[in-house]
Amino acid sequence: MVIIEECSPTYKYHVFLSFRGEDTRNNFTGHLYSALREKGIFTFMDDQLIRGEEISPALIQAIEQSKISIVVFSGNYASSKWCLDELVKILDCKKKIQQIVLPVFFKVDPSDVRNHRGSFGEGLANLERKFKDEDQVQEWKTALFQAASLSGWHLDEHCSESSIVGKIVEHISKEHVNSTDLDVAEYQVGIQHRVRAIQNLLGVEVRDVHMVGIWGVGGIGKTTIAKAVYNSIVHRFDGSCFLENVRENSKGARGLVELQKILLREILKEREVEVTSVARGINMIKERLQYKRVLLVLDDVSDMNQLNNLARQCSWFGMGSRIIITTRDRKLLRCHGVRPDLIYEVQELDEHDALELLSVIAFKRIRPLDSYAELTKRAVRYTQGLPLALTVLGSSLRGGSVELWEAALDGSESREIKDVLKISFDGLGHRAKEAFLDIACFFKGEHREHVIKILKACGSEEHFINVLIEKALISVRYMGKIWMHDLIEEMGRDIVHEQSPDNPGNRSRLWFHEDVYRVLVDNIGTNNVRGIKVELPEDSNVLCLCATSFSSMKNLKLIICRAGRYSGVVDGLPNSLRVIDWADCPLQVLSSHTIPRELSVIHMPRSRITVLGDGYKVCSFGGTYMFIDL
Task: For residue 316, give the CATH number of its domain.
Answer: 3.40.50.300
Are 534 and 564 in contact, with CB atoms under 8 Å apart? yes
Residue 543 and residue 596 in one domain: yes
Q: How confident is the model at residue 575 (pLDDT cuts 50, 70, 90)?
A: confident
Query: Residue 495 domain-assigned?
Result: no
Q: Average pLDDT for residues 400-412, to the nearest whole number? A: 82
> Is the domain of 20 the same as that of 121?
yes
Residue 627: its pLDDT value, please? Answer: 44
Percent of residues, the chain, with pLDDT higher than 90:
41
> What pLDDT, on a 0 to 100 scale, did the predictor assign at position 49?
45
Phi, psi of 485 (to 5 degrees): -60, 145
159: pLDDT confidence band, cut at 50, 70 and 90?
confident
| 86 is an active site residue | yes
260 and 392 in a single domain? The answer is: no
Cα distance between residue 264 and residue 125, in whole Å: 60
Count other C-beta atoms under 10 Å from residue 563's C-beta. 16
Range of the domain at 238: 191-345
CATH classification at residue 437: 1.10.10
Q: What does the pLDDT average to over 2-28?
A: 70
**Model confidence at 76: pLDDT above 50:** yes
Judge whether residue 487 has pLDDT over 90: no
Q: What are phi and psi of 456, to 5 degrees?
A: -65, -40
Report yes or no: 448 and 465 within 8 Å, Cβ to Cβ: yes
CA dihedral 218, 223, 229, 235 (to 10 degrees): 160
Would you say residue 185 lies in a domain?
no
Say yes or no: 203 and 303 in one domain: yes
Q: Quickly list H helices, 296-372.
A: 304-310, 330-335, 351-362
Q: Which residue has the higher pLDDT, 143 or 424?
A: 143
7 occurs within a structural domain? no
Q: What does the pLDDT read at residue 580?
A: 85
Q: What is the pLDDT of residue 564?
A: 62
| Predicted pLDDT at 624 | 40
**Is the pTM value of this prediction over 0.75?**
no
Region 499-513: mean pLDDT is 94
Residue range 274-291: mean pLDDT, rounded: 94
Q: Mind listing the pLDDT tens digit for each residue in 375-400?
A: 999 888 888 888 988 888 888 888 88
Domain-located, residue 239: yes
pLDDT score of 618? 47
Q: How many residues are there in the chain?
A: 630
Query: Does residue 1 belong to any structural domain of this protein?
Result: no
- Tally the domains of the chain: 5
* Helix or strand holding residue 70 (H, E): strand 66-73
Contact 194, 324 (CB under 8 A): no
318 or 564: which leads in pLDDT: 318
pLDDT digits (tens, 9 = 90+) for 523-555: 899 999 999 998 877 666 666 666 567 788 999
Q: Please give the pLDDT value at position 178.
A: 58
The answer to whether residue 96 is domain-embedded is yes
pLDDT at residue 610 in the model: 58
Beta bridge partners of 619: 626
In the predicted structure, residue 372 carries a pLDDT above the cut 60: yes
Q: Of 314, 301, 315, 307, nearest to 336 (Cα)?
A: 307
Helix (H) or strand (E) holding 619: strand 616-621
The yes-or-no verdict on residue 585 having pLDDT over 80 is no
Going by pLDDT thresholds of 50, 70 and 90, the confidence category of residue 628 is: very low
Query: Residue 270 has what pLDDT?
Result: 84
Inter-residue contact 176 to 232 (CB < 8 Å): no
Give the list of residues 6+ apart from residue 353 with CB closer than 8 angstroms, or none. Answer: 189, 190, 385
- Per residue in 313-354, pLDDT (tens digit) is 999 999 999 999 999 888 999 999 999 999 999 998 999 999
In this predicted structure, the answer to whether residue 298 has a pLDDT above a threshold of 80 is yes
**Co-location of 23 and 172 in the same domain:** yes
Task: Report the pLDDT value the prediction gives residue 128, as an integer from 0 to 100.
Answer: 86
Q: At what angle do helices 134-148 and 81-97 cross, to 10 degrees?
A: 60
Residue closest to 601 by CA, chosen among 629, 619, 626, 564: 626
In this structure, are 211 and 327 located in the same domain?
Answer: yes
Is pLDDT of 566 > 70? no
pLDDT at 218: 84
334 and 220 housed in the same domain: yes
Asked whether residue 122 falls in the same domain as residue 195, the answer is no
Ranges 36-40, 339-343, 458-462, most confident: 339-343
Give the max Cα distance, the chain. 95
Given 457, 488, 519, the domain boundary residue is 488
From residue 387, how far is each of 218, 257, 260, 599 by CA, in Å?
A: 10, 32, 31, 42
Instruction: Output the domain CATH number for residue 76.
Output: 3.40.50.10140
Residues 286-304 have a mean pLDDT of 95
pLDDT tens, 78-134?
A: 999 999 999 999 999 888 776 889 999 999 999 999 999 988 888 898 888 887 788
* Domain end position, chosen among 315, 345, 375: 345
Residue 300 sits in the same domain as residue 390: no
Q: Which one is catalytic: 5, 6, 86, 461? A: 86
For the chain, the distance separating the N- and C-terminal CA atoms, rounded to the nearest angstrom, is 69
In a domain, 6, yes or no: no
pLDDT at 280 over 50: yes
For residue range 231-245, list pLDDT tens digits in order.
888 877 889 999 999
Please give the average per-residue pLDDT across 19-23, as a whole number. Answer: 89
Least confident of 492-496, 517-521, 597-601: 597-601
Question: 302 with 232, same domain?
Answer: yes
What is the arithmetic mean of pLDDT over 193-213? Answer: 92
Q: How far apart are CA 594 and CA 575, in angstroms?
A: 9
Q: What is the pLDDT of residue 393?
A: 87
Q: In terms of domains, do 84 and 168 share one? A: yes
Last residue of a domain, one of 345, 365, 383: 345
Most confident of 85-94, 570-579, 595-604: 85-94
Q: CA 127 to CA 104: how far, in whole Å? A: 22
324 assigned to some structural domain:
yes
Residue of 96 and 405 predicted with greater confidence:
405
Q: Is 21 found in the same domain as 160?
A: yes
Q: Decide if 511 contacts 564 (C-beta within 8 A).
A: no
pLDDT of residue 623 exceeding 60: no
Q: What is the mean pLDDT of the chain?
A: 84
